[in-house]
């Protein structure tokens, strides 16, 4: 499969935030979100076989441990990715799959925790979510909305209610979008919507979701790769 990078860092998002994790970033994406922070993964990378990828993961962190498959959009390489995820599960790893929600997810192996985006309009890729993926969600999965403004918040709030997401998955995450060109200072001034404002909206509406911050962008320079 085509790999941009494999590295160990702290998990920055989801309910696994703060835990040590090996990240496997697959190359290529068919979307172009306006606030995307991994454009460097769209092209290039290097070809690696299944055994090579597993060996590198084991070198960085022997099982059991946390492995996140991310991108780009990893499910574009489904044919090679599905056996990799199954092998990691069989090895004893906890496997997270971070995906845009646009690719079919029904073949993802049981035991993999899917962290599925539903793109809001502010991303420029609204309407990309594949509604059939709602049927593929399991109780330990998580659904994430990255929010740029009040309109995105209202879309997320209403989508959550319409599809009873809180009753389907382990967590629904509302995460303020980070400015595309964020660099230097490590604080929430880079967020497109003020987290305090988003928190107030969520409290006002009693939304059954968690406010999520990308903690890796508060720990390290938001422009750093491989963290
Ligand atoms: S789906 Fe992810 S990798 Fe692709 S453009 Fe959007 S944020 Fe970037």
Q: Is 13 in the pocket of ligand 1 (CB under 6 A)?
A: no
59 Cβ contact list (under 8 Å, min separation 6):
none
Please give the span between the terminal C-alpha atoms of the chain, in angstroms, as a whole number.
22
If you measure from the C-alpha of residue 190 to the centroid of ligand 1, how many angstroms do you get, rounded to a whole number?
18
If you measure from the C-alpha of residue 33 to the centroid of ligand 1, how many angstroms do you get, rounded to a whole number?
5
- Given the candidates 3.60.10.10, 3.20.20.70, 3.40.50.620, 3.30.70.360, the CATH classification of the domain at 2-219 is 3.20.20.70
How many other CB atoms sit within 10 Å of the CB of residue 177?
Answer: 25
Atom of ligand 1 nearest to the CA of 72: 3
pLDDT 10s digit of each residue in the chain, 227 long? 999 999 999 998 899 999 999 999 999 999 999 999 999 999 999 999 999 999 999 999 999 999 999 999 999 999 999 999 999 999 999 999 999 999 999 999 999 999 999 999 999 999 999 999 999 999 999 999 999 999 999 999 999 999 999 999 999 999 999 887 777 777 788 889 999 999 999 999 999 999 999 888 888 887 777 77
51 Cβ contact list (under 8 Å, min separation 6):
none
Q: Where are the domains of the chain?
A: 2-219
């Amino acid at each position: 499969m085509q790999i941009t990078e494999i590295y160990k860092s702290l998990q920055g998002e989801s309910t696994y935030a703060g835990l040590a994790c090996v990240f496997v970033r697959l190359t290529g994406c068919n979307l172009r979100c306006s606030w995307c922070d991994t454009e460097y993964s769209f092209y290039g990378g290097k070809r690696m076989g299944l055994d090579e990828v597993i060996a590198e993961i084991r070198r960085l962190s022997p099982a059991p441990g946390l492995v996140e498959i991310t991108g780009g959009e990893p499910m574009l390489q489904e044919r090679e990715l599905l056996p990799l995820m199954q092998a990691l599960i069989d090895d004893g790893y906890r496997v997270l799959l971070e995906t845009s929600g646009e690719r079919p997810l029904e073949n993802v192996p049981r035991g993999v925790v899917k962290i599925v985006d539903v793109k809001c309009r502010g991303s420029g890729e609204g309407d990309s979510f594949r509604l059939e993926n709602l049927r593929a969600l399991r109780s330990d999965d998580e659904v994430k909305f990255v929010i740029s403004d009040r309109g995105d918040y209202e879309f997320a709030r209403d989508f959550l209610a319409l599809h009873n997401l809180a009753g389907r998955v382990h967590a629904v995450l509302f995460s303020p979008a980070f400015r595309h060109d964020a660099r230097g200072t490590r604080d929430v001034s880079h967020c497109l919507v003020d987290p305090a404002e988003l928190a107030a909206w969520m409290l006002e509406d009693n939304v059954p979701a968690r406010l999520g911050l990308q903690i890796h962008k508060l720990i390290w320079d938001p422009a750093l790769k491989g963290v």
